Amino acid sequence: MDRTDLRILEVLQAEGRLSNIELAEKVNLSASPCLRRVRTLEEEGFISGYAALLDPEKIGLGLTVHLDVALDKKDAKARDRLKAAVLTWSEVTWCHSLSGEMDYTMQVVMPSLKHYTSFLMDRVLTLPGVVNVKSAFVLEKVKETTVLPLTYAPQ
C-alpha cells in the first residue's frame, strides 16, 4: 500500500462511479496501471464492494431507530437465534455485538412508529432469550458517512 493506492481509495470513497479513465486522471496514472491497482485493491480486500447510497426518507423510510438488545446469558443458543433472525430482517441495516450491558446494537429503518412497534413486539421480543431492549429514535442526523479515514492506513 503506497500513497497512490491510498489516493485511489480516497477518490473511490468519494466518487465510486468514476470510470477508470477519470480515476486514473485524478490519481495521476495512466488507465492500465490504475486498473491493475484497483483490481489488486479489490483482490486483497481493501475494496470490499460498491453500492449506491440511498436516501431513506425518499424511499419511505423516515424513522431510524437504534435498538440495543440484551440476551439471557444462560441461554446458550440465544446469540445464534438473534444473529440468524437479524440476517433475515431487511429493516436492520447494521448489527454489532457489544461488550458491556447490552449484547447487540443495531440500526433499524422503518416507515413509521407503528411499523417499528410491530417489528419490536412481533419479531424482536418474541425471540427466545431476549431479556431486555432499549430503543433510541434518531432525531437528527448530524453526520453520516461511509468514508473511512485513511490517515491510519499502513504505508
What are 64-115's pLDDT values in tens digits? 999 999 999 999 999 999 999 999 999 999 999 999 999 999 999 999 999 9
pLDDT at position 154 is 85
pLDDT at position 128 is 97
pLDDT at position 19 is 96
What percentage of the chain exceeds 90 in pLDDT?
97
Q: Return the DSSP state at 103.
A: S
Residue 87 to residue 74: CA distance in whole angstroms: 23
Domain-wise residue ranges, the chain: 3-43, 56-137
Weakest-pLDDT range from 13-17, 104-108, 128-132: 13-17
Tell the CATH topology of 56-137. Alpha-Beta Plaits (3.30.70)
CA–chain centroid gap for 96, Å, is 10
One of 1.10.10.10, 3.30.365.10, 3.50.50.60, 3.90.1330.10 is the CATH number of 3-43, namely 1.10.10.10
